[in-house]
Structure 1
Amino acid sequence: IVIGHEIYVLGGCINGELTTNVFVIDCLHNTFRFLPSMRVPRGCAAFGIVDGKIYVIGGYNKVDSLDNWVEVFDLEKQTWESFSGLCNEELYKITLKSVVMNEKIYIMDRRYSVVYDPRKSVWERDFILNTYWEVGSCVIDNMLYTFGFDCQKSVYRIRVYDPRVRVWSFVKGVENIPMMLKTQGSRMANHGGDLTILLNLDKSGGTEIWCIQVALERRGEHREIWGKVLWSNLVLTLKNSSTIVQCLDITI
C-alpha cells in the first residue's frame, strides 16, 4: 500500500513461510522501519484504507480461526485494533487484487469478486466486476481501470468499471496504440489523475518495458470516458525475459 512517499508492506513470505512482519519503506529519505506485527501470518491478503485505517483481510490459511480474519491498523495511533468483521469464507485463502472505491473495499480473485463495507461490516457479491478485471488495474476517481484483451477485435484495450451502476465500458480515443497489439503483460497506476501504464513486451528472448501516460476526461451527454496519450516511451531494455510485478505511484 502506498501512502504519500511511503510503501507499507504487510505480511508476505520468508523462506516459503507466511509472516506477520509489517514494515514501511520511506522513499523520500531512503529508510525503512518496522511496525507492530500482525496477529497472524498472511500472504496475498486484501488491503484497503478507509477512514485513516488499513483493513487487512484474508490471506490467512486457517479458516477455523475466523476471529483473526480481519485486522485493522490505525495509521494515526500506529497500533493494531481488534475487528469483528464478518468472514467471507469464499476468499479466506487467497486474494489476487483489492482496491478501494467509494470507501468500500473491492476484493477479487479468479473466481469471485466481493465488496466489503467496513463502516457497516457488510459483504456482497459483485458478479459484473469479475467479468473483465485484471491483476494490472488501478483506481482513478473511484473508477476501476484495467487493460486486457478484446477477443472480438483481437487487440488489447483499456476498460473502465463504474461501481455505482456496475457497468464496464471501453475508454475511447486510445484504441490504436501500436504496442498494445503485442504486449505480454501490464501494470497500471494513478499518477496525479492520469492513467500510467507499464507494458511488458517480449523481444527475441529479451524484454522491453514501455511506459504510457494517458489523460482522462468525460465527454458528451452520456459522460463517456475518453483518453488522450500524453506520451509513450521505451524506459528499460532487458536481455532476459521478465515480469512486471507492481506499478506504484510515490509522492516525493
Structure 2
Amino acid sequence: MSSSKEQPSEQPSLLPSLPDDIIIDILSRVRWCDYRTLSLVSKHFRSLIASHALYARRSFLGCTERRLYVALSNGVTTYHNPYILCLKANGGNHRLVLIPWPTNVPHVGSFANVGSKIYAFDTLNRYHHLPIPSVDCRFQTVHLVSCMNATMDVSVAGVIDGKIYVTGYTKTQWDTAAKMVMAVFDAETQIWETATETIIGRPYGCVVMAGKMYRRDARNSFVYDPKESKWETDKRLNMFKWEGGCVVDDVLYYYDIRGGKVLRAYDPRKSSWVVVKGLERLVAEGRFSESYYTGSCGGKLVLFFSKDRRIKGIRCAQISLERRHHGRSEIWGKIDWCDDVLFRSDDLFVTKTLDVIL
C-alpha cells in the first residue's frame, strides 16, 4: 500500500471547448457592461471580447447598445475626465465609472461622436498640421484622421448625417480681429470640406434637430441649414439662454437654473417653448444644486445635477418623455430612476455627454 496521499482528481473545466465562432455568437448576446467581468475569465476570452468579429456579430444580430459617455471637469483646470454611466452589478445603483483614456488623445477641447467613435478636437488647435484623433470605444483604440483645413481654437462641434461641423476662432478669442469659422469633416470619407466663416460669436450651446444645427452665443440663437449652407437667427429660440441642452426626438431640452429651475422644451416645428410637467419632486430635490446638464441616450433624457455645497458629488435622473394634447401641446416627464452616481471630495460638473453605440 502506497504511503503517499492520493492526489485529488483535477476538476473538469467549466468552460466547454467550443469553436470561437460559437463563443462569439454567445458573447454577442451578453450585455456590453458585463464584458469587463467576462474578460477576466481567461486570456482567450479577453482576446475574443476585444475582437472585431464580436462587434460585427453584435451589429448583425441587432444587439448593439447605447451607452452614455460623460466628460467631467472640476472648474479649476480645463481637463475633461471621461466617465461612462453604468448599472452596478446585482441590481445596484447607477454609477459614473472612470474609464481609461488613451494618452495621445487631448483631455481639453470639444468632442463629437459618430457611431462608436469619439472625435477629439483640441481647444488650442493652432497647430493645425497635427492629425485629429478618433477613439473607437469598442476597442479603446485610437485612429488619427487627416489634419483640419483651418487654423482655429475649437469651441463646439455638432454632427449632422455623419458629418462633423466644427466651429472656432481663427485667432485667440480675445483678439478683436478674430473671426469665427466652421470646418466640416465627413466621417465616412475621412475628408475635410472647405472651411467657411460664420456670423455667430463664441458658441455657448450646440444641438442638432431635424437635420439642422442650432447654436447660441452670448446674445443670440442661430440655426444652420446644411442644405442651403446658410445661417439665420431664431428669435423664438432666443427667448431663453439655453445652455447644457440635449435633443430627444428633435425637441431641445435644457434645465433653466435662472428661470425658476424648470426643465424647458423647445419644438422647432412649432417654434414654441413649454415647461415639462410632472417633475415637481425632482425640481424640489435639486433646489440647492449649483450646476445642471442634460444628456440624451436611447430616446431618454438624462439630467445631471450637483449635490449641495456640504455634500460633494453628482446625482443623475433618467426621464421618460411623453407628449400630451389637451387643447395645447404638453410634454410630461416620468422619472425612471434617480441615483447618486458619483461621490468625490472635490467639485465636479458635467461638461459634455455623448450617446455612443457599442
CA distance in 2, matches of 1:144, 1:19: 34
CA distance in 1, matches of 2:177, 2:289: 42
- Deviation of the 1:59 alpha carbon: 3.1
Change (3 A) 1:29 1:130: same
- Deviation of the 1:150 alpha carbon: 5.6
| Equivalence map 1:131-170=2 (5 Å) | 131-149=239-257, 151=259, 155-170=260-275
CA distance in 2, matches of 1:59, 1:228: 40
| Equivalence map 1:73-222=2 (5 Å) | 73-82=185-194, 85=196, 87-91=197-201, 94-149=202-257, 151=259, 155-177=260-282, 178-204=284-310, 207-221=312-326, 222=328
> Alignment partner for residue 160 of structure 2, among 50, 65, 76?
50
Residue 34 (structure 1) aligned with residue 144 (structure 2): yes
Tell me which amino acid in the other structure corresponds to 2:183: E
The alignment partner of 1:218 has SS state of strand
CA distance in 1, matches of 2:181, 2:199: 10
After superposing on structure 2, the runs of 4+ consecutive aligned residues of structure 1 that deviate more than 6 Å are 62-66
Q: Which has the higher helix share?
A: 2
Larger radius of gyration: 2
CA distance in 2, matches of 1:37, 1:23: 10
Residue 12 (structure 1) aligned with residue 123 (structure 2): yes
- Deviation of the 1:90 alpha carbon: 4.1
Q: Percent identity?
A: 32
- Deviation of the 1:34 alpha carbon: 1.6
CA distance in 2, matches of 1:210, 1:164: 32
Tell me which amino acid in the other structure corresponds to 1:125: T
CA distance in 1, matches of 2:153, 2:280: 36
Change (3 A) 1:157 1:4: same
Preserved contact between residue 194 and residue 215 of structure 1 (Cα < 8 Å):
yes
What is aligned with 1:59? 169
CA distance in 1, matches of 2:353, 2:193: 29
The alignment partner of 2:352 has SS state of coil
CA distance in 1, matches of 2:127, 2:342: 33
Listed as ranges, the gaps of 5+ residues in structure 1 are none
CA distance in 2, matches of 1:203, 1:51: 41
Listed as ranges, the gaps of 5+ residues in structure 2 are 1-111
Q: Which has the higher strand share?
A: 1
CA distance in 2, matches of 1:232, 1:48: 28
Tell me which amino acid in the other structure corresponds to 1:210: R
What is aligned with 1:239? 345
- Tell me the TM-score normalized by structure 2: 0.61
- Deviation of the 1:74 alpha carbon: 1.5
